[in-house]
Amino acid sequence: MFRRSLLFLVPACISLVGSTSAAAHIAKRTLAEQIVQPIPARNLYQLTDQLKLRPPRLIPHVIRTKSPNYHVGHQDTFQILSEDNNKYFSTRATIKFETKHLYIYVQDGLGIKQADIQRAAMRFENRTYPTDRRYFGSEWTPGVDGDPHITCLVADLKSSSAIGYFSAEDEYPRLVNPYSNQREMVYLNSVYTTPGDQIFDLTLSHEFQHMIHWHMHPHDNGWLNEGMSMLAEKLNGFQPQAELDAFLGLPQTQLNGWAEDGPTALSHYGAAYLFLSYLFNHYGAGVVRDMLSTPQYTDFELVNTILRKHHVPVSANTVFARWVVANYLRDAHAAGGIYDYANLPRRIDVPSGHTVPFTDAESLQPYTAQYVVMDKLDATKPFTLSFSAPSTVRLVGENQPAPFWWSNRGDMSDTTLQRSLDLRKVHHATLHFNDWYDIEKDYDYGYVEASRDGGKTWKTLKTQDTTSKNPYGANYGNGFTGPSNGWHAETADLSAYAGHKAIIRFQYITDDIFNGQGWLLSGISVPEIGFHDSFSGWRQKGFVPIFSNSLPASWHVRLIEYGSAGTQVHSLQLEQSSSGAANTTGTLRLPVSLGLQKVVAVVFYTAPKTTVHLSWRLSATDG
C-alpha cells in the first residue's frame, strides 16, 4: 500500500570473510553480480491458487467485463484501513460528481461544497489525468471492475498520518484479497484535505501516478515509484516543498533505501524526487517513461538499462556521482552543465567548514553523500588530503556468520528455494533449520511449505516462530514476519508427508514501498532420511547462497575546488591498500599554484542491496 504522510504538510563451506586472496575477491565480485540480477515478481493470483484455494481453480482477473456506468447519487460501501487502529472498517459513500474518467465519492455525512467537488474533478480530468498518462503511462483500464472511471473516495480514513493513498490490493477480486474494493481507486483523508484545496489536487496527482506505476511496472522498487509520484506533482504544477526541505537538510539519506517513519521518512521522498528530476532534466522525459515500461529490472540496474537504451554513455552510478555534486555546486557553467538541474531550489545543508589541519571521521550508508567543507584556506600554503575507508561492506545484518541462504530483497517480490525429499521409507519426519530475519511486520512474510502433489498446491508449515495472524490480508497461512532479533532454531513437522515423495519450499513474499533485509537460512536438515544441506540440489528463484557476508564497497571522493582558475571538480584517486588490510585509501597534495580559497570533498560509496553504514576518515595536513 502506498501512503502519503501528514508530515509532507509540516515546514559445509569455508567462510571467506576477511580473506584477501584472489579467490575471495572473485567470490565477492560474483556475489555482487548475482544479487543485482532480476528476481521474481509476486503474482497474487498464483499465490492465492497455490496457498489458499482448496481445490485450486482458475481465478478471474476481473469481476465484470461491462461498465456499470454509475452516476451521481450512486452509493457504495467501502473497506478502509485505519492506520491508527491497524484494522479495516466499512463506510458508505455517494458519488457527488462524475467525469469521463473519475467518480468522486464523498463519505455520507460530510459537508463539502458541490462547486469545490466539481472544480477538483474537472482539474483532474483536464490537467492531471492527461499529464500523468503522458509522462508515465496508463492505468489498468477498464480494469478489475470493467469501468474506465477511477474512484476517488473522500472520507475520514481514521488515520492521524495519512493524507491519502493508493492500494494495489483494490486491483484484485476479493477472492485474492478479502479487503479489496475491486476497482481502480485512491483514498483522500477528509480530516486533512477536501476538494477545493491545493493539497487535494496535489495528492490526487501523486496517487494516480502510483496507480499507473502498479499497472506498468508493479515490481518496481518503492524509491523509484515514490520519486516518480513526486515528479508527477511538479509536472502538474505543484511544488513538493516539505520533502525538498527535509532532504536538503539531511543529504545523508540513502537514495535507494526507505523508512516508513522516523526523522528520515520525509527526506527519502525528497531524495528520490530530486534524483528523478536530475534524470528527467538531463536525459529527457523518455528516460523516465521507459523505466516504467521495462518491468524486468528495478533499482539502479533499471536506470542502467534505460540509459543504455537511450545511448547515454554513462552508468547509473556516474549519474549518481554527478547528482550528489550538483546538489552542492549548482553551477550551470561547470563541466557543460552536469552539476546543475531544474527543481533544485537551493544547495544542500552542510556542516560548518574546517581549517587545515583537521581530521573528519564519519559513517554513511551506500548511495548517500557527506560533504566536508574546507574554507578559510591560505592560498600561499599547500596541503595534503588523505582518505581511508573499508573496502568491503556486509550484505546483511550484524556480522551474520556464513554460509547461509539469503532470500534476496525487493518490493512486490516472490523468491523461493525448493527441493524434493523422498520420505517414502519413514513414518515421521521433522524439518530442522536455523533462521534470522528482518521482514516488514504484517505486510511481508516468509514461509516454509510442503507439497505432495508435485507442487500444484502447498501448505504452509508451523514452527515456534510463525504466526497465523492476518491483519491486512497478506498472510497465506503460517508465516514469519517482523524482526527475529537474532538467530533461531526452527522445527517443522513433516509427518503428514511421510510415506510420500514431497517437496519443501522456503518462500519470501513482499509488498510495495518498503522491504527489510530479508530472511537467512542455514543448517537445513531432515535427520530421519539423513538429509543435511550442502548448498546443492536446490531449485532457487531469487534465493542466493552466501559464502561470505561481504561485498565490495566502491568509494568515491569528489573535490569541488574554488581557486584562481574558477570552480573545478576533480576526483581523489583511490585504490585498495596493498598492506594486507581491506582498506581503500587515497592521498592528494593540493599545491599553491591552484590558488585555492575553498575545497568541498563529497564522500560516498556504492554497493548493491545493502543498507549497512561504513566508517570513513578524511584528514588534511599542511605541506
Average pLDDT over the chain, rounded to whole?
92
- Residue 623: count other Cβ atoms within 10 Å of its Cβ: 9
CATH topology for 350-394+551-622 is Jelly Rolls (2.60.120)
pLDDT for residue 613 is more than 90: yes
- At 580 the pLDDT is 53
- At 24 the pLDDT is 39
In angstroms, the CA 321 to CA 374 distance is 20
Contacts of 158 (CB under 8 A, 6+ apart): 80, 82, 83, 84, 85, 89
All structural domains of the chain with their residue ranges: 61-216, 219-348, 350-394+551-622, 404-546
Do residues 342 and 281 touch, judged by C-beta distance below 8 A? Answer: yes
Contacts of 110 (CB under 8 A, 6+ apart): 154, 155, 156, 190, 194
What one-character-per-residue DSSP string does 378-422 give? -TTS-EEEEEEEESEE-SSTTTPPSSEEE----TTBEEEEEEEEE
pLDDT for residue 55 is more than 70: yes
Do residues 385 and 601 touch, judged by C-beta distance below 8 A? Answer: yes
In angstroms, the CA 144 to CA 171 distance is 6
Closest among 107, 135, 306, 286 to 208, alpha carbons compared? 135
Which three cell numbers, joined as nine digits, stand for 110? 460530510
Q: What is the pLDDT of residues 547-566, one digit of tens each?
A: 999 999 999 999 999 998 88
As a whole number of angstroms, the longest Cα–Cα distance in the chain is 86
- Residue 38: count other Cβ atoms within 10 Å of its Cβ: 15
Task: Indicate if 404-546 has the same CATH topology as 350-394+551-622.
Answer: yes
| pLDDT-based confidence at residue 28 (cuts at 50, 70, 90) | very low
* DSSP bridge pairs for 602: 371, 558
Q: What is the pLDDT of residues 418-466, one digit of tens each?
A: 999 999 999 999 999 999 999 999 999 999 999 999 998 999 999 999 9
Over residues 52-70, the mean pLDDT reads 91
DSSP state, residue 18: T
Which three cell numbers, joined as nine digits, stand for 338? 552536469
Q: What is the pTM of this model?
A: 0.92
Q: What CATH code is assigned to 404-546?
A: 2.60.120.200
Q: What is the pLDDT of residues 242-296, one digit of tens each?
A: 999 999 999 999 999 998 776 688 999 999 999 999 999 999 999 999 999 999 9
Tally of residues, the chain:
623
Contacts of 194 (CB under 8 A, 6+ apart): 110, 112, 116, 154, 188, 200
Contacts of 28 (CB under 8 A, 6+ apart): 16, 392, 548, 550, 551, 552
Written out in words, the top-level CATH class of the domain with range 61-216 is alpha beta
H or E, element range at 206: helix 198-216
Q: What is the pLDDT of residues 524-534, one digit of tens each?
A: 999 999 999 99
Do residues 458 and 51 touch, judged by C-beta distance below 8 A? Answer: yes
